[in-house]
Structure formats: C-alpha cells, structure tokens
Structure 1
Amino acid sequence: MKWYFWVVLVLAVLALGVYLLNSTIAAKAPEFSQSDHYQDGKFHNEQPRMALSFSKNIGLFWRFFTEEKVNTIPPSVPMKTVSRAELDALSNNEVHIVKLGHSSLLIKMYGDYWLVDPVFGERASPFSFAGPKRFHPTPITLEELPPIRRVLISHNHYDHLDKPTIEFLAKSQPLFHVPLGLSGDLTRWGIRPTNITEYDWWQEQMVGNIQLAFAPTQHFSGRGMSDSNITLWGAWIIKTPDTAIFFSGDSGYFDGFKRIGERYGPFDLTFIETGAYDKDWADIHMTPEESVQAHLDVKGKLMLPVHNGTFDLAFHAWSDPFERVLKAANQHQVTLSTPIVGEVFTPTSAPVETRWWQNLAQ
C-alpha cells in the first residue's frame, strides 16, 4: 500500500482516540446562559473565526505529517535550575517571577507562590507516547516546588493545561482561578470544587490587596474533537499595589487588546504570546509583529515574549519568533526582556537583554 494510506490511517486512529478520551466531557457540558458570548452550548469569540471543519483538521494533520520542517527544534536551550532554597530566600515584599518554559510561570507574590498555565509534563499532548515533546526540562521539578497557593489557567489546550501537573497539585489543593467551564476537568483530576473559582470575560476579584481580572482573547478551547469551545479562554490581569502584569494566554490579534489597555493599563510587564503562528490559523495566534502591537495596545512598558522555545507546535523555525519580535520591538521602541528558562526577575527590574538564541540559531 502507498505510504500515505498509513498516514491517513494513523491520523484517523489518533482522531478517534482523542474523541473517545473526551466524549464524556462534551456530554456533561454545563450551561452558562449568564454569559453573553455563550450560545447553543458553546462559547464564541467577539469576532467570528475561521471554521475548523473536520476536513480542515485532517488537512492540518496532513501538513504536520508530510510538510518538511526546517530548523523547528533547537540544538539545545540554555536553562538555569532553581531550587526551593533559592526561591524561599527571595524577599517577600515584592513580586518575583521564574520563566518555566513555553507559557508557564512561577510567581512569588509577596511570599505566596502562584503558578500560571503550569505544564510540567514531557509532552503537550493527550498521549504520553506521541505529540510535541519539550526541548528542555523544567528548571524545578514538581516535587521540588514550594507550597503553591494559587494557580491561574488561561484555557484548556494541552500546552496550557497539563493533566499530570494538575493531578500532582491536587495533593496540596491550591486555589484555582480558571475560565468558565474548566472546573469539570479540574474536579475529575482531584481538585476540590470549593478550591475553584471560574471567571467570565471582564470578571474581577480581589485577592487580599491584589486584583485579578479575566479578559477576552481571540482563540478557542478543546481537548478533543467532541468538546470544542465548551469552556472559555482568555487573558489574565494581575494588579498589586505596586505592580501591574498582563498575561495574554493565546490569541489572534484583535481590538480587544486596546480595550484591555483602556480599562486596566498601563502594565509594568506583559507576557505576550509570540510563537506557534501560521497562515492556516492566523486568526487565533499572532505573528510576532502583531504581538508587539498587542503589547502597545494594552499599554505595556516591558514585554516578555512567551509561547516559544519549548514545544514544536508550528512550521516556522524555532528561532523565528525571537528574531521577528526583536526586530519589531526595535522598530516600535518597545523594551524587550528575554530571560532564559529558570532565570528569576521582577516586573520592575532592568530588562534581560541577553539574546540567548542568536548563537544557537546559527
């Protein structure tokens, strides 16, 4: 038989497996009639996005299996390991942040430890044996983490919501702040319902003297073929008396960034998705140039590009997001910070201007 017959067969088996893994989730999808962007059992973007039909999905799978990829995996990724003792030694009177890789962050928030979109698993995939495999380990293991007080999740895709990580965190039961609908997965994975707070777009909550707000993005949700958009997606705003942080989650470029800037800006530090873009999904992931514009729209001061350097999720070269965002930032007089994985920094500290990828990219 022709080789492509086997490719199609593998794709069909994988699609069926994902469908079966998630079919019970769709059957039990809750209703959110209070949300003005929830209709007919699904959440919707403020602006319509390209329909992802079954044939479109198969076409994308076909591209991933047959299109030649060039330089999509780095030869190595520099990393600084960080220990529990080092974290505990950091001051409790300011905000400290550790880049864990991709979009995952560890934040020491005035003595309490928070995680944002924590993915400690080996693969961003429903399977332990297949799917995008990380380029580097995390700078600290789950077992070495200090006690986690709060966890923020932007949406339920595998590179942002990792089941093994959540099941490990369930042992200590931190408090979760998540989009509407996500409590279903979390409770099945061991998190107590009383420890979960769900947010709609523009919903806010005070946590002590820290303001949390959840804002719109132009994206989608789903962990299989049967649960598309039954949970919400979005961006996080964290405002303390001293610091304002914007975490974009995943998004295509849209005018919502300007409204976020008008409502919550300016921000001392922005974590903006910069990676995994492609012409076939241009409305749900930004190009690096659009990422810089999003930073400007939300009135950011210091930009740190995330969603790159850890998983191979697209067709562009692994270093392309860094080079393009650096060029665009220079053109627009945007201050760019590019710490290596495991590097500790504060939102108001001097930008890390070591462009670590340039020697590796040659």
Structure 2
Amino acid sequence: MLAIKVILSVLAMLGLAIYFINVNLVAKPAPTANAESEHFYGNKFHNEQPRTPLSFKDTAALWVRFFTEKKVDTTPDITIPVVPMQRADLDALSNDALHLVKLGHSSVLLKVYGEYWLIDPVFSERASPFSFVGPKRFHQPPIDLKDLPPIDKVLISHNHYDHLDKASIKALMAKTQQFLVPKGIDGDLINWGIEANKIITFDWWQELQTHQGLIAFTPTQHFSGRGMGDGNSTLWGSWVIKTPQESLFFSGDSGYFAGFKAIGDRYGPFDLTLVETGAYDKDWADIHMTPEQSVQAHIDLQGKVMMPIHNGTFDLAFHTWHDPFDRVVNEAENRNVALSTPKFGHVFSLDTLPPLTPWWKATQ
C-alpha cells in the first residue's frame, strides 16, 4: 500500500511540475532586477551565508512525505476568534501615533501618523496560485479589501504566495500610492497592471526617508520563487520602520542567522518585533525558524516586545496548528521575553500593546 502511495506521489509531483511549466507560473523579474546588487550572481540572488540546495532526490522525498505523511491537528477544529473591523474604526484612530492590527498570517495593517500602510497583504481564500487547491484560510480577514481606506504604502517581503497575493495586489492597485518591494518583484507588479512610477525597489540595507520616519529593507535567510525555474530570481528580506517615537521590525520569512544581530546593532532597539513563528520543519530548517530560534532572533534584534506572526491562518507545515504558539510562549517564559498575542482584528498602538493572551487555547 505504501509503495502505491509513493508511486502516486511521484506521479502527482511530475504532473504538478508539467502543469506549472505549461501555465508558466513563474516570477517575471524586471530586466534591471540584478542591477548593482552584490547579492546577485550566477543569474540568482543569494543569501549572505550559502545554502545547500535540495537535490532532486531530496525534493522528491519531500513531495513523497507531503503526500504520504499523516498530519495531526494541523487545522483548528472550531472557529478562530477574529475581531471584525470597519472603515469607521480605522478612521477614528488618532493621527499622532502608530496603530497596528494583525489581519492574518503575516498580513499587517498600520496607521502611521495618519497614513495607512499594509505589509504582505494576503486576502485570498488560499495561499496558492490556484483558487481550487492549496492551503486554505482558517478564518476570514477582519476587514474586506473593498472596505479598506486609501493605502499610502504596501510593503512586500518576498514573492511566495502566502506573502505576495496577486488578487490582493490587483484589488489594491487603484487605492495605493506606493508599492515598496524587493529587487525583481517590480516586474510582476508591472505585469499585473501596477504603474512603474508607483513602485520603489530595494536591495538589502537600502533606506527610504518618509514624512513619518525611516523605512529600511534588511536581510533574511530565505529564498524566492512562484513556480518552476524562477527560484531566487527576485530578492527577499525584512522591514524596519522607525518613526520619531517608535521602532518596529517585521521579519518576513527567515531561517535563524547572524543577520538578526546585525540588524539589531544597526537599527535597534525595537519597541516591537513581528517575528516569523510557524511553518518550520526539519526538512527546511535553514529557511524557517523554530519558535525557540524566533525568540533568540527577537533577543538579537534588541526587541522589547515580540509578536509572533506567520501562524494561525494557513496550514503550511507538518506541525500542529497551535504548536508555534505553545512553544514560543514556553521559550519566552524561559528567556524572560515579553510577548504580545492579539487576536486578528484587534487594533492597538505601541504604547497599548495587548499582553500575552492565549486565545488559541480555547480551540484545542
């Protein structure tokens, strides 16, 4: 029986590969994506510390595991708590502070001294190139895309489907002033209809001074790709946001690496770090952190309060859906790290950060 499952898994993998090639689901980096970037060579972007790429055998084994390994408790059995938001709620927020709300997974809405910014907005039902298959949301966003106010800035960390959602970007096109993206991603946005003069591209350590403060694009240890044959053709990274009163770090996706300390030394301390805590596994340990490593990254960043992100919305790994929360709470207690775990849709400012609230416990 297992042999049959393995054969079917390999055939499914080959079928998906052929489908990806036929429909050309690949990133379309801008022709100048590699211009003046020391991280681009051999027609690809590279991490600061080289990764060992998966061999075909390793990739095949991972696909077999994906199709044959039994998953346990990877999706919630009851409704995830979400606080509904209305446009009026956002407009009522003051313009003299930085307000924040988690929308789901790694998607975050900010009101930065009167301007609305979105980070990695994913509003689609699935984190997938397809509407009929792929990781499906555990919960709906706390606000509909159509109800969002005009957006001044959309910040993208990298081009994976759970961070760069084509449908959301196209829906935001008419109401967004600027798109801040890693090198190469501008090619896809232009292909989707975004005007080139609305897009600003970043290499690692590049900065943008705004009326509200400083935005900097900083390294991560990860990779990029949206299909077959486009791996690492666009850059990936994290974001630093510093206003005169607050300092915020958004991790994007990353394995644990020395870059967190370098970011902390240059831009820290941070009032709040939003750090990836989810979708980890032994087979991709160098590109996604365990919860224990996420806490260490927060410490390296010189963070004051840590908010775990990249969890609670999609099934993207083999661990239980609540394992990231359980483990990060345990490690934070061991390391004397302050955690904030707001429900999706809970709006707050950095001087009124919600405390550790184990909302996931009620669903176990």
* Percentage of pairs with the same residue: 58
How much is the aligned-residue C-alpha RMSD, in angstroms? 1.6
Counterpart check, 1:125 vs 2:128: yes
| 2:270 aligns with one of 267, 274, 287 | 267
Report the counterpart of residue 10 of structure 1 in structure 2: 12
The number of residue pairs the alignment matches comes to: 361
Q: Equivalent residue of 2:255, what SS?
A: coil
Q: Is residue 58 of structure 1 aligned with residue 60 of structure 2?
A: yes
Q: 1:227 aligns with which of 215, 223, 230?
A: 230
Distance across 1 between alignment mates of 2:200 and 2:178: 8
**Alignment match, 2:195:** 192
C-alpha distance after superposition, 1:215-237 (max 9, x if no partner): 10000000012110010000000
- Matched letter for residue 85 of structure 1: A
Q: Aligned to 1:96, which of 57, 81, 99?
A: 99
Counterpart residue identity of residue 242, structure 1: Q
Once the two structures are TM-superposed, the CA of residue 151 in structure 1 deviates from its matched residue by 0.2
**Would you say the 8 A contact 1:217–1:251 is kept in 2?**
yes
Picking from 87, 100, 110, the partner of 2:113 is 110
Paired AA for residue 60 in structure 1: L
Partner amino acid, structure 2, of 1:265: G
TM-score by length of 1: 0.96
Check if 1:345 corresponds to 2:345.
Answer: no
Q: Mark the runs of 5 or more structure 2 residues left unpaired by the alignment.
A: none
2:223 & 2:87 partners in 1: Cα distance? 35
Cα distance, 1:5 vs structure 2: 3.5
Cα deviation, 1:76-98, whole Å, max 9, x if unaligned, reads: 21111100011111111101111
Per the alignment, in what secondary structure is the counterpart of residue 289 of structure 1? helix
What is the CA distance between 1:4 and its match in structure 2?
4.2
> Alpha-carbon deviation of 1:28?
6.8
User: Could you say what secondary structure the match of 2:174 adopts?
Assistant: coil
Query: 2:172 and 2:28 mapped to 1: Cα distance?
Result: 25
Match for residue 324 of structure 2 among 321, 325, 348: 321
Shift of 1:351: 3.3
SS for the counterpart of 1:151 is strand
Matched residue SS, 1:170: helix
Q: 1:73 is paired with a residue of what secondary structure?
A: coil
SS of 2:295's partner is: helix
- Counterpart among 33, 48, 56 of residue 50 in structure 2: 48
Preserved CA contact (<8 Å) 1:154 1:234: yes
Q: Compute the TM-score of the two structures, normalised by the length of structure 2.
A: 0.96
2:360 paired with 1:357:
yes
Q: Secondary structure at the match of 1:167?
A: helix
Match of 2:279 in 1: 276
Cα distance in 2 for partners of 1:258, 1:70 equals 35
User: What's the CA shift for 1:31?
Assistant: 4.8
Structure 1 residues 189 and 50, CA gap change in structure 2 (3 angstroms):
same
Which residue does the alignment assign to 2:260? 257
Counterpart Cα distance in 1 of 2:326 and 2:89: 32
Distance 1:209 1:350 in 2: 20
1:30 Cα offset (Å): 4.2
CA contact (8 A) 2:109 2:117 kept: yes
